[in-house]
Amino acid sequence: MIQVQRDKERADIPDDFGNANYSPYRFFSAEEWSHFRADTPLTLTADEVHRLRSLNDPVDLDEVRRIYLSLSRLLSAHVESSQMLFEQRKRFLTLSDVSKTPFVIGIAGSVAVGKSTTARILGELLSRWPSSPKVDLVTTDGFLHPNAVLQREKLMDRKGFPESYDTGALLRFLSAIKAGQPNVKAPAYSHLTYDVLPNESQTIDRPDILIFEGINVLQSRNLPADGKIVPMVSDFFDFSIYIHAEEALIHSWYVERFMRLRETAFKNPESYFHRYATITETEALAIAEGLWKNINLKNLRQNILPTRPRADLILQKGENHLVETVALRKL
């Protein structure tokens, strides 16, 4: 009877996912979700959380306790189950010359919603399990086409849209990772120059866990009529997370972050956005609103938000930028 009542309470949680009774997800309030941490130890300090969080993101130790310890425990169970399945399949196929491949976690969501903070905190928590797994983090920024290419193709105003990425390079990278290849190169990106760094890369050498973060990592593709295999980035994921918030909230967070950057990173003369640090606050605010309306909002509505139902887990944030509801796909 108690379990039935708790399920009813979860079904009554306000959300915009439709009728929870017919949803492929189970819904939990942040308070309910926090109980699933069980005896998972808190291995981060307040200073470390402060270092890991992004600008204008208020995540603190309390949020780590409420949300991320339970999520770390859940992912631990998935990784262990994946490794057990690998060993069983290895015996079934009588294979002796193969080794397990990295467990890949995809993290998607809009700009300014907190993907980077979530990815970094999860990475640190996962790497501090008793088994000390090797955890690497890669973002999709480096897989954007260089600005010179985007300018030539008149795509600078669509930077971050699916067509602005080198999809072939993305798929080759993830394919090599899942094949267990050593020393796989991921292209590097500079947020200072707002461009891919042509002579720099990140080397990923057979981690136990790879966190792959980007706004469009759950993007699907049109399927061919002839039934040929058309791989998608998400095909290489073992678990996927979507970070969600209401459109109006993301809008305000984006503008607030832009105005904060104007007082910090944009002041660097080498910054691509340095010009925004020298104009008036009113002019800067108008530019931020224009960038949101004409680029980021369009991308959110057309490409990012439609991928939310493809995630295994959805973290829904509230006005204070903290998670209020967790949706976990049913097995």
The answer on pLDDT for 17 being more than 70 is no
What pLDDT shows up at residue 21? 74
Task: Measure the CA–CA gap between 204 and 120, rounded to whole angstroms.
Answer: 16
Q: Is residue 7 predicted with pLDDT exceeding 90?
A: no
Indicate if the pLDDT at residue 81 is higher than 60.
Answer: yes
For residue 4, the model assigns a pLDDT of: 33
- Helix (H), strand (E) at residue 187: strand 184-190
Class of domain 2-329: alpha beta
Q: Is the pLDDT of residue 12 over 60?
A: no
Instruction: Report the residue count for the chain.
Output: 331
Q: If you average pLDDT over residues 7-20, what whole number do you get? A: 52
Percentage of the chain with pLDDT > 90? 86
Q: Would you list the domain boundaries of the chain? A: 2-329
Q: What is the average pLDDT score of the chain? A: 92
Return the number of other C-beta atoms located less than 10 Å from residue 239's C-beta: 20
Helix, coil or strand: residue 28: strand
Q: What digits encode the pLDDT tens for the residues 185-232?
A: 999 999 999 999 999 999 999 999 999 999 999 998 877 788 888 899
| Tokens 């602005």 -> residue | 164
pLDDT digits (tens, 9 = 90+) for 232-281: 999 999 999 999 999 999 999 999 999 999 999 999 999 999 999 999 99
